[in-house]
A and B are shown apart, each in its own frame.
Chain A
Amino acid sequence: MLGYIFKRVLYMIPTLFGMSLISFLIIQLPPGDYLTSMIATMSDSGQAVDPAEIERLKEIYGFDDPFYIQYLKWIWGILSRGDFGRSFEWNQPVADLIWARMGSTLVISLLSLLFVWVVALPIGIYSAVRRHTVGDHIFTFFGFIGLAVPNFILALILMYVAYKYLGQSVGGLNSPEFAEAPWSLAKVGDFLAHLWIPIIIIGASGTAALIRILRANLTDELHKPYVITARAKGLPEYKVILKYPVRIALNPFVSAIGWVLPHLVSGVTITAIVLNLPTAGPLLFRALVSQDMYLAGSFILLLSALTLVGMLLSDLLLALLDPRIRFN
């Protein structure tokens, strides 16, 4: 087992390198660079840009260097001093920017993940066990709506409801009057009052998908001979279902954990933009739009690393959960 983990971690190193190279390349692929987008903004506000100035700026920012030199500079900074470079747009170290947003990102993501599991697991099991009952149809109906409606539309609708009927300050995680206040009971209350919208929205499609998957998997399992045997041997119904079929039906979740980690960071970008959440997604989005390459590159690298770690975790969990899986 330990050997297996060690081998897996070892494999991750070249993979990460490849990913960093590819992500850096992808950021460089679209025409133009941070300067082009900066000039675009400048000329939008009515300023003329002198071509000589552009050349000078290119030199200053180091855009004159060929691709591999830029990459090597960046990756060497990371390896030698943990320096992910500076964001052009924010004029701050990339690491500071990302960390500043990690707290709220994790709170929101973990809470919505919790929301998804708490809601989806019981409903999924119920739907599978009581297939084609009224309850199942109702849940299925809402499940399909949750799957079909894009998150950001749901976000706009809920925000409008909050604005129109609840008189709440929309967007962000705090009302303006609390934004600068130190943490207090009132501020926590205000924070919680803002939290339900993002959690429902971010959770909605995940919940729906999970219900569907669980229902389908469990339905397959419920008619297998070992379930019938268990029942025939007089095991109580809850034990029959929870102990064996549900455990097997959970496999797809666990193998999907690999995707959950990066998803936590960047999964709900559009929703976060619409809701004006101070999470990492909108930052990544802006970095891509403005071709702020070190910020975007570091983000993608971080996401790749999280994916790899998540994959490892899910493989290990899978092995724990399902003894049929072997290491090789």
Chain B
Amino acid sequence: MIKLKRRTFLAGSSAALILPALPVAAATYKEADILKDKVSSGALPSVGDRLPETPLVVKPFESIGKYGGDWRMALVGGGSLSMLFRYQAYEPLLRYTPDWSGVTLNVAEAFEANADATVYTIRLRKGMRWSDGHPYTTADVKFWYDTVLTDKRVAVTSQGHWKTAGKPAKLEVVDEQTFKVIFEAPNGMFPLQVAWANNDHTTRCPKHYLEQFHIDYNPKADELAKQHGFESWIAAFQSVSGFQNDNAFFLNSSKKPCLNAWMFTIAPGENTERAVAERNPYYWKVDTEGNQLPYMDRIVYQMVADPQVLLLKAMQGEIDYMDQYIATPNNKSVLYDARQQGDYDFCTLTSTEANVMNFIFNLNHNDETKRTLFRNRNFRAALSMALDRQALIDAVLVGQGAPAQPSIKENDPLYSEQLAKQFTEYDVEKANAMLDEIIPKRDDQNFRLDEKGRRLTIIFEIDQARAIFLDLFQLVIPMFQAVGIDAQMRTMDRSLWETRVRQGRDFDATAHQFGANGGIAAMLDPRYYVPTDSNAMYAPAWQLWYLDRNNASAEEPPPETKRQLELYDKLKATSDPAGQQAIMKQILQGAADNFYVFGISQPPDGYGIVKNNMKNITRTMPSSFGWPTPAPTMPEQFYKV
């Protein structure tokens, strides 16, 4: 049984908090001046009528704010609209706590599970409204369930957390505010997954707007679609609902009602230079004094084509908050020097990634000799010990970091020393000795020969856009050569890399980053610990087997990996945090024993810049997409002085 109500009290005290309903009488609700004018002119109902009966009460991080001001932001390039979850669109049923230790209520007023986590009862807020004033009820959830999740004609999304044993959960609508999600098998991770940045669709599917595009609700949907320039209602519905990908969701979306603190008046795509979001008059959160949030009037995004321009703009003080694109180690000194001129300061973003760079060998290689060799744990261990990690850290990472394998960070309860530190010592002799047992023969140039007598050439295929990998590999290749491995780097364009590596089986090895180094994140994205999805590039065939046993390219993994995958299934079924942790520990032990991948260093913490007149921003927070930095610290309570 998850007791979310209790956890809201427990959630860290160092950041903005969501409080259970305070005794704020409806009469005392206050609103921004812009809205007051609209109310008095009759364009809007009064604030008491716009808010739900029990608005969510947010305790501001530092102080009660004042209304007004633009939050000035920027987006780089055309292809990065998933960033918007970070700033204005993170309103799932449940949200992560500011310290990412758990989840807390958000759109949902109550969220309860039965004892074996098969039935979730979720209650929405009575009187809550979309940004156009239309009520938000279980009808919207039902509409989403019928048209997006289970409609085979438009099905564009997998929504894995709504499925157990390959079947979607059943939805039972109890009344206008209450619905039940009934799973075939236990699904203990459901609340954690609902809170993941862009997972929850149920709060983003306004029935009264979208139904006109669906043939079951509007027999003339096809004609409407043609008017909008689409081939059929299916294309139009997919495009307007936008659940097929994050870009589609936000593009040209200014007419689509939302539950967010700010709604687009000029959405990305409608203008290629700027996007503007204005305050949602029906936003359903108030601060502890009954002021309707958000504090700031608008978010204004400049669309910038090149990060260098954004850097200059930040230095000029045109950007109020930025942790993406420009917050690289190289830029730190430049940004540091311009702090006065730009009138901003740094905030710390604690790293949540498993490692700076992971060496990924293709354990499902099409070449049998290589496959057998790569699967030999001692072979990978020997190569790991051939790396002088400290030298790499000093030369490429400007001394920031400590030798480590992809692993859980040290102060996390899941930390395993074996996983973090095994085979990180630099010992060429030992590495050579281990390799001599596996592939002793060498050719005239002192390179080792494989079983078939070919020179052992390992080509690392790298996405050329990852500059830091290229720098690291300049130094790594001689280290591998020193133990007789003919290692080579082949850089390529990203799309070729996607085709060859993520979708192919012919590559020898590659390198990649991301993954998770602790807590909830590691359970939701265990890519380097157990192959559960396509991000586990070391075992393309095994992860496919886990996702879809009947897939022609899938391959049954060895027993030790299978045991891990079974544990992961068990983890997903477990609902109490202690139990989840115990199982995750076993999975991590399996990862340490299997030693699928190895890395260089724990990633150093990142940073962001915050304009000095911005208030209520937490100065230290996790950096992640799943915990969409900084959204869980509640931008609606940010304000400017």
Binding site for B on A (CB under 8 A): 30-32, 36-53, 56-57, 60, 83, 86, 89-93, 97, 100-101, 156, 159-160, 163, 169-172, 176, 179-180, 272-276, 278, 282-283, 286, 290-291
Interface contact B313-A169, CB-CB below 8 Å = yes
**In this assembly, does B394 line the interface, its C-beta being within 8 Å of a C-beta of chain A?**
no
Interface contact A30-B312, CB-CB below 8 Å = no
**In this assembly, does B157 line the interface, its C-beta being within 8 Å of a C-beta of chain A?**
yes
Identify A276's interface contact among B197, B305, B502, B625, CB under 8 A.
B305
Interface contact B252-A57, CB-CB below 8 Å = no
Q: How far is the CB of B275 from chain A (nearest CB, A)?
A: 11
Interface contact B272-A101, CB-CB below 8 Å = yes
Interface contact A172-B302, CB-CB below 8 Å = yes
Query: Could you say which residues of chain A place their CB within 8 Å of the CB of B304?
Result: 171, 276
Known: A60-B235, A273-B305. 10 other contacts (CB 8 A): A31-B499, A38-B247, A41-B247, A45-B82, A46-B525, A48-B527, A49-B534, A90-B251, A169-B313, A278-B273
User: 3 tightest CB-CB pairs across the interface, nearest first?
Assistant: A32-B495, A48-B533, A46-B625
Q: How far is the CB of A41 from chain B (nearest CB, A)?
A: 5
Q: How far is the CB of A36 from chain B (nearest CB, A)?
A: 5
CB-based nearest A residue for B228: A93
Q: How far is the CB of B283 from chain A (nearest CB, A)?
A: 23
CB-based nearest A residue for B500: A31
Interface contact A47-B198, CB-CB below 8 Å = yes
- 12 sampled A-B residue pairs with Cβ under 8 A: A32-B499, A36-B498, A37-B79, A43-B535, A48-B535, A60-B156, A100-B272, A163-B315, A163-B316, A170-B309, A282-B305, A286-B77
Q: How far is the CB of B16 from chain A (nearest CB, A)?
A: 23
Q: How far is the CB of B573 from chain A (nearest CB, A)?
A: 19
Q: Which of B114-122, B238-246, B374-382, B479-487 contacts A (4 or more CB under 8 A)?
A: B238-246
Q: How far is the CB of A299 from chain B (nearest CB, A)?
A: 14
Query: Could you say which residues of chain A place their CB within 8 Å of the CB of B495?
Result: 30-32, 36-37, 40, 291
Q: How far is the CB of B297 from chain A (nearest CB, A)?
A: 13
Query: Could you say which residues of chain A place their CB within 8 Å of the CB of B80?
Result: 41, 45
B295-314: CB near A (< 8 Å → 1, else 0) gives 00000101011101100110
Interface contact B306-A170, CB-CB below 8 Å = no
Query: Could you say which residues of chain B place their CB within 8 Å of the CB of A86?
Result: 229
**In this assembly, does B219 line the interface, its C-beta being within 8 Å of a C-beta of chain A?**
no
Query: How many residues of B are counted as interface, with CB atoms below 8 angstroms from the partner's CB atoms?
Result: 63
Query: Could you say which residues of chain A place their CB within 8 Å of the CB of B12?
Result: none
**In this assembly, does B440 line the interface, its C-beta being within 8 Å of a C-beta of chain A?**
no
Q: How far is the CB of B3 from chain A (nearest CB, A)?
A: 29
Query: Could you say which residues of chain A place their CB within 8 Å of the CB of B172?
Result: none
Interface contact B499-A57, CB-CB below 8 Å = no
Q: How far is the CB of A281 from chain B (nearest CB, A)?
A: 9
Interface contact A156-B308, CB-CB below 8 Å = yes
Query: Could you say which residues of chain B place their CB within 8 Å of the CB of A53?
Result: 156-158
CB-based nearest B residue for A37: B495
Identify A92's interface contact among B269, B300, B494, B533, CB under 8 A.
B269
Interface contact A32-B498, CB-CB below 8 Å = yes
Interface contact B496-A30, CB-CB below 8 Å = yes
**In this assembly, does B274 line the interface, its C-beta being within 8 Å of a C-beta of chain A?**
yes
**In this assembly, does B577 line the interface, its C-beta being within 8 Å of a C-beta of chain A?**
no
CA gap between A259 and B437 in the complex, in Å? 65
The verdict on A89 contacting B309 (CB below 8 Å), with A101-B272, A169-B318, A176-B318 known, is no
Query: Could you say which residues of chain A place their CB within 8 Å of the CB of B548?
Result: 51-52
Chain B residues numbered 318-336 whose CB sits less than 8 Å from any CB in chain A = 318
Q: How far is the CB of A13 from chain B (nearest CB, A)?
A: 27
**In this assembly, does B544 line the interface, its C-beta being within 8 Å of a C-beta of chain A?**
yes
CA gap between A176 and B496 in the complex, in Å? 38
Query: Could you say which residues of chain B place their CB within 8 Å of the CB of A51?
Result: 534, 544, 547-548, 551
CB-based nearest B residue for A291: B495
Interface contact B316-A170, CB-CB below 8 Å = yes
CA gap between A46 and B269 in the complex, in Å? 23
Query: Could you say which residues of chain B place their CB within 8 Å of the CB of A274?
Result: 305-306, 308-309
CA gap between A252 and B308 in the complex, in Å? 37
CA gap between A38 and B274 in the complex, in Å? 22
Q: Most chain-A Cβ atoms within 10 A of its Cβ — which of B79, B83, B494?
A: B79
CB-based nearest B residue for A90: B269
Identify A170's interface contact among B313, B514, B551, B624, CB under 8 A.
B313
Query: Could you say which residues of chain A place their CB within 8 Å of the CB of B305?
Result: 272-274, 276, 282, 286
Interface contact A92-B252, CB-CB below 8 Å = yes
CA gap between A52 and B549 in the complex, in Å? 12
Interface contact A42-B312, CB-CB below 8 Å = no
CB-based nearest A residue for B79: A41
The verdict on A171 contacting B78 (CB below 8 Å), with A48-B535, A176-B302 known, is no
Interface contact B272-A90, CB-CB below 8 Å = yes
CA gap between A30 and B494 in the complex, in Å? 11
Q: Most chain-A Cβ atoms within 10 A of its Cβ — which of B156, B273, B495?
A: B495
Q: How far is the CB of B454 from chain A (nearest CB, A)?
A: 27
CA gap between A283 and B499 in the complex, in Å? 25
CA gap between A36 and B544 in the complex, in Å? 18
Chain B residues numbered 267-281 whose CB sits less than 8 Å from any CB in chain A = 269, 272-274, 276
CB-based nearest B residue for A272: B305
Q: How far is the CB of A205 from chain B (nearest CB, A)?
A: 19
**In this assembly, does B72 line the interface, its C-beta being within 8 Å of a C-beta of chain A?**
yes
**In this assembly, does B155 line the interface, its C-beta being within 8 Å of a C-beta of chain A?**
yes
Identify A31's interface contact among B245, B300, B496, CB under 8 A.
B496
Interface contact A172-B78, CB-CB below 8 Å = no
Query: Could you say which residues of chain B place their CB within 8 Å of the CB of A42?
Result: 82, 245-246
Q: How far is the CB of A193 from chain B (nearest CB, A)?
A: 15
